[in-house]
Chain A
Amino acid sequence: MNREFTEALKNEFGTNILDAVTSRNETYLTVKKEANVKICDHIYHHLDIPLISIFATDERKKDGCFKVHYVFSIGKGDAFVIIKINIDGKSPRYNSITHKIAAANWYEREIQDMFGLLPVGHPDPRRLVHFEDWPDGVYPLRKDFDIKTKPPRVEGEYVYRRVEGEGVYEIPVGPVHAGVIEPGHFRFSVAGEPIINLEIRHFYTHKGVEKLFENISLDKAVFLAERISGDNSAAHAVAFCQAVERIAGIDIPARAKYIRVVLLELERVYNHLGDIAGIATDVAFAMGAAHANRLKEEILQLNEKVTGSRMLRGMNAIGGVRRDIGDKKDEILLKLSEIQHDFRELIEYLMAIPSLVDRIETTGRIYNDTAKGLHVVGPAARASGIDRDMRRDHAYAAYPEFNFKVPVQKAGDVNARTLVRADEVCESIGLIEQALWSLPDGDIKINIGEIPDGYALGYTEAPRGETLYWVMIENNRIVRCKVRDPSFCNWLAIEYAVLDNIVPDFPIVNKSLSLSYSGNDM
């Protein structure tokens, strides 16, 4: 797959492609800096391959330049194509691709803030990660920036988009919200009830995670990956471990792969149950919410019994898993069958209540082309008719061994997202059952010594959608770890989803997209 693809690109672009390296399912094509727009546009629009991440590296010490990577994912054939351009540190500028590919928007702004590489021609060149009080010319992910530096606060102002007209007013919300949720700022422009425009402003919880990865040892890094987005701990940890395992070229024991599937699916079940509870809460249907919350709590208690942590933390390690769950098999299966029975009943009950369905049908619609253009991922994408799931398209751990369906809905509204989640819960329980019934014997972890120098992608389908890691290791230390949480893709979709909806429906739309602030801000 990769070879044909590389040949086709070489024929099309000839001397613009300087170098091609393939390892595993990843092909790295170094191209001329000036050709990035042309080539990315061709891959994205002509070959119809989605752009799933853009990130930069500071390799000035070794190669004398910065590098920007564009990651494309070929679902059919399980391959990744990474287009690389080199950028000289003396003139840190390159051409923006956002006017061709809308999904590149935030990535380019993030690189501008963290590396000081200027995307020339970006339609919205404001800051993204740093606030107005951050001084100019300080870029945390450059190698010459010390993580302990505390840059002074400077004067500055953030300019919001303004909507003007008769009767238009603004509603600012956050960063400290009324409910128990994470911090972020929303600015609604409203005329009467319907929302004309929403601007989101995030990165309140920016904790310098990517820089921190470069300053800690490898085993501690798993611990950090678990704490990027708290309720997606297992998905992040597995994605990180898989990246490192791929660099080391090791295949973990089959039993560990099966256990990882159980952990990842338990996580999906409790997240989806929590989201369904949230939707019931936001339409003021307390009884439905109480039922869903009880089921979620039962999974959290099961997690604690099985792994020692309600959030499934501390289980994954580079080379496998830390704790065997074989002896808890019957307990898990029994509990899940009870939960499945109750859950089916609950969903039937919820979906038969007209006042609930009325609130969620046609609310917060994300049309298929919007979802595709922004590269929305996870249940939100599948509810808008995008049939993508990393577990199937880029299978990892033990997923190739199991049967499962990827539920897809077309409507793109809150109702569709709820139905996708409901179906996924049942599929997940099915996956856990399959994994536990056929749990292979053997070790759960292999010892790995020094990790050789290299780089690789690691990925999982978290409850919120595809989670992507790109790790580069030198001398057994991480020199760059790019984390792409699913929420980073999905946040912009909410600006479209709420249009023409009324302000009181915003919480439902927000909950139905189930977005992580911390995973986004990092």
Chain B
Amino acid sequence: MTVEDEVEIMGQRLNSRIKNIFGRSLHIREVDAGSCNACEVEVNSLSNPIYDIERFGIHIVASPRHADMLLVTGPVTRNMELALLKTYNATPSPKLVAAMGSCACNGGIFGDTYASGGGVDKFIPVDVYIPGCPPRPQAVIFGIMVAIDKLAQKIKKTEVNP
């Protein structure tokens, strides 16, 4: 199967879930909390003509205030900690957080040191972990799909039963 076919199949599934839960589209804000920039290359790849995730209803936005979901990369460095918390607090609830890449999942090779925080979930609650160094674009799309299912559960929990 070619990359295009893989993306097409996954994208259609993703699109129907986004339609069910969000009505139209899912807005994502990407936050680099100290990654090596390979994850950024892959997030940018998502918007190239091969993957073109916008056609499945995913939009990467400029401000956390417009976002439904934060896609966080990097081990959260000491110097980025405050900026990440501010970004998280600026995102309206209910919100999703995906930790993208090995560093974001648990610190990766940078671990827990004087400068590196050792993973996003030590600082903000994380809904999905997308492993890989860096994860392939297909993996990121899959991760977003898993995150959306979690949001459906989250919304259900907050609904009051009559």
What is the chain A residue whose CB lies nearest that of B45?
A: A297
Docked CA distance A140–B79 (Å): 15
Binding site for A on B (CB under 8 A): 3, 30-45, 47-51, 60, 62-64, 74-75, 77-80, 83, 87, 108-116, 133-134, 136
Q: A346 within 8 Å of B by Cβ? A: no
| CB <8 Å contact, B80 and A311 | no
For A277, the closest partner residue in chain B by CB is: B48
Contact of A131 among B32, B45, B79, B134 (CB under 8 A): B79
Q: Is the CB of A294 within 8 A of B49?
A: yes
Cα A56 to Cα B69 in complex, Å, equals: 43
With A145-B114, A150-B114 known, 10 other A-B pairs at CB within 8 A are A147-B114, A175-B80, A180-B40, A208-B114, A208-B115, A209-B110, A211-B115, A230-B38, A231-B37, A293-B47
CB of A53 within 8 Å of the partner chain: no
**Closest chain A residue to B48, Cβ basis:** A293
Q: Do the beta carbons of B109 and A224 come within 8 Å of each other?
A: yes
Q: Return the contact of A212 from the options B32, B44, B48, B113 (Cβ within 8 A).
A: B113
Sort A-B residue pairs by CB-CB distance and give the 4 closest, nearest first: A230-B38, A208-B115, A178-B62, A230-B36
A231 touches B77 (CB 8 A): no
Residues of A within 8 A of B31 (CB): 176
Contact partner of B113 (CB less than 8 A), chosen from A178, A204, A211, A300, is A211
B3 — nearest CB in chain A belongs to which residue? A301
Q: How many residues of chain A get a CB closer than 8 Å to chain B's CBs? A: 50
Given contacts A206-B78, A297-B45, contact A149 B114 (CB under 8 A): yes
A186 at the interface (CB under 8 A from B): no
**Which A residues lie within 8 Å of B64 (CB)?**
176
Q: Is A179 an interface residue (CB 8 A)?
A: yes
Residues on B with C-beta less than 8 A from A357 are none
Enumerate chain A residues within 8 angstroms of B87, measured Cβ to Cβ: 176
Residues of A within 8 A of B110 (CB): 207-209, 212, 227
Q: Assess whether B37 is in contact with A516, with CB atoms less than 8 Å apart.
A: yes
Q: Are A183 and B80 in contact (CB under 8 A)?
A: yes
The complex places the Cα of A204 from the Cα of B48 at a distance, in Å, of 28
Does A518 contact B37, Cβ atoms closer than 8 Å? yes
Partner among B37, B43, B49, B50 whose Cβ is within 8 Å of the Cβ of A229: B37
Point out which of A203, A209, A294 has the most chain B C-beta atoms below 10 A from its C-beta. Answer: A209
CA distance A151 to B33 in the complex (A): 19
Say yes or no: A182 contacts B35, CB within 8 Å.
yes
